[in-house]
Amino acid sequence: MMTWKSNFDETKKHYLDWWKGKGIVLSMWEHLFKEGEPYEEIPPPPRHKDINQFWFDPEWRSDYLHYRMSRNSYMADILPVANAQLGPGSLASLLGSELEGRDDTIWIHPKKDFDETIQFDEDNRWWKLHQDLLSAVKKRSEGKYMVGCPDLIEGLDVLASLKGPDNVLVDLILEPERTLEQLAEINKVYFDVFDRIYDIINMEGEMAFCYFSLWAPGKVSKLQVDLSIMISEEDFRHFCLPFLEEQTRQIDYTLYHLDGVDAIRHLDAVLELKELNGVQWTPGYGQPQGGNSRWYDLYKRVLAAGKSVMINWVTLDELEPLIDHVGNQGLHINVDFKSEREIEKALTIVDKYR
């Protein structure tokens, strides 16, 4: 099936190389509109009735995504992936948290009367929504683009969405055994749900993720423990590493999302994950973005450990110095593109190093 991305074969080669620590992928965070005619004249859906329709109505949202996808630019390695995410950490909603749509994002509220059991209820309405939404988008796409896997999230972050982060943190100390059991249970549900989502969204076995511009010729996911900025290295090894390791073993291609300066403490542990393919860096507040020279050594550290690296929010003028210093092997660079002209400029730079 032909997608709306005419150079997808070439992009796939870039990704295949990148997963093996070679070459450069040049992409962006989500999309910008293309110039000129859309790929097909798709009418926009009528304005959404309310915010619930905007996020939670599979028919409306698939029409809307279809319209948007027909007008996005897929130049360079920008992926034709429709983002049908249901909030950061939507796995929690399958375990009893409530989702609430707001203008800019979906909020996840802790489970009321959480009794410390991790239970995946198949009749849960949010699980039905996950399936209905992904199926509707998949159907609407008719193979013209891929459907990105929602940002399910796993581990401590999901436990925090269920019972509140303070309670999770205290229980690392007061209830360590129970916490480990809960984390094991969360991983079980995660793999179950992940596989079933893969069955819906995969395109001839290939898969894409909703954010982070991720594609792979098999199962792919982003891994994270954002809560790790609040715990010791010792606790990270005890409560996070074993579950991450299981994920890297069960999922073909994995990228760890390292978020914030306070998370760098855990990088050594992350790099010990044998089957992990790459590390993505988010600098956080008050810090320069990913293209800044301050982070060159961090990237070199990741590459030296045999992992690929993903660098976000790079500006055009940072691009060349970045590759000069970090090298041209194993980089996935997401530039903060504002127009297709900028993509062309970035391509002339990157092509010199390919």
Partner 1 sequence: MKLELINKLFECVEFGKININSPYPPQMKGLPGADEITQEALVAGVNPDEILNRALIAAMNKVGEKFTEKKIFVPQMLLSAKAMNASMNHLKPYFADGSVKRKGVFIVGTVFGDLHDIGKNLLSMMVEGAGWEVIDLGIDVNTEAFVEKVKEYPDAVVGISALLTTTMVNIEPVIKAIKQASPATKVIVGGAPLTAAFAASIGADAYGKNPREGIIWLDLQSQKMNN
Q: Which residues bind partner 1 (CB under 8 A)?
A: 104, 107, 165-166, 169-170, 172-174, 230-232, 235, 284-286
CA-CA distance, 219 to 230, in Å (whole number)? 30
Residue whose CB is less far from partner 1, 258 or 322: 258
Closest CA to 104 of 121, 118, 85, 123: 85
Listed ranges 21-29, 222-230, 233-241, 265-273: which one lies at the site for ligand B12 (CB under 6 A) = 222-230
| Binds ligand B12 (CB under 6 A): choice among 57, 77, 226, 246 | 226
Q: Does 284 bind ligand B12 (CB under 6 A)?
A: yes
Nearer to ligand B12, 95 or 216 (CB): 95
204 Cβ contact partners less than 8 Å away, ≥ 6 residues apart: none
Chain centre to alpha carbon of residue 190: 15
Among 35, 51, 52, 105, binds ligand B12 (CB under 6 A): 105
Shortest distance (Å) from residue 46 CB to ligand B12: 26
Residue 259 lies near ligand B12 (rule: CB under 6 A): yes
Give min distance, CB of 233 to partner 1, in A.
Answer: 9
Nearest distance from C-beta of residue 140 to partner 1, angstroms = 30
Rounded to the nearest whole angstrom, what is the least distance from the CB of residue 229 to ligand B12 in the complex? 5
Q: Smaller CB distance to partner 1: residue 230 or 271?
A: 230
Q: DSSP state, 230? A: G
Among 38, 45, 242, 260, binds ligand B12 (CB under 6 A): 260
User: Is 46 a binder of ligand B12 (CB under 6 A)?
Assistant: no
As beta bridge partners, residue 82 has 147
Residue 170, contacted partner among ligand B12, partner 1, none, CB below 5-8 A by kind: partner 1
288: contact with ligand B12 by CB under 6 A: no
The 10 Å Cβ neighbour count of residue 338 is: 11
Q: Does 107 bind ligand B12 (CB under 6 A)?
A: yes
How far, in Å, CA of 140 to CA of 129, rounded?
16
Residue 101 touching ligand B12 (CB under 6 A): no
Candidates 224-232, 268-276, 297-305, 336-344 — which segment interacts with ligand B12 by CB under 6 A?
224-232
Identity at 331, one-letter amino acid code: L
147 beta partners: 82
Nearer to ligand B12, 82 or 343 (CB): 82
Q: Packing angle between helix 58-69 and helix 125-141, nearest 10 degrees?
A: 40
**Terminal CA-to-CA distance of the chain, rounded, Å?**
28
Nearer to ligand B12, 284 or 306 (CB): 284
Nearest CA to 326 out of 314, 337, 338 is that of: 314
150 binds ligand B12 (CB under 6 A): no
CB–CB of 332/25 below 8 Å?
Answer: yes
Q: Which residues of 156-183 are buried (b: 16+ CB within 10 A; e: fewer)?
A: bbbbbbbbebebbeebbeeeeeebeebb
Q: Which two tokens stand for residue 263?
A: 């998370």
C-beta closer to ligand B12: residue 33 or 107: 107
Q: Which of residues 48-87 bind ligand B12 (CB under 6 A)?
A: 87
When the beta carbons of 164 and 327 are compared against partner 1, the nearer one is 164
Q: 293 contacts which partner out of ligand B12, partner 1, none, CB within 5 to 8 A by kind?
A: none
Instruction: Give 227's DSSP letter.
Output: G
Beta carbon of residue 229, minimum distance to partner 1 (angstroms, whole number): 9
User: 3-state DSSP call for residue 174?
Assistant: helix
Phi and psi dihedrals of 333, rounded to 5?
-110, 120
Q: In the beta sheet, which residues pair with residue 148?
A: 208
- Give me the residues that bind ligand B12 (CB under 6 A), please: 87-88, 105, 107, 165, 226, 229-230, 259-260, 282, 284
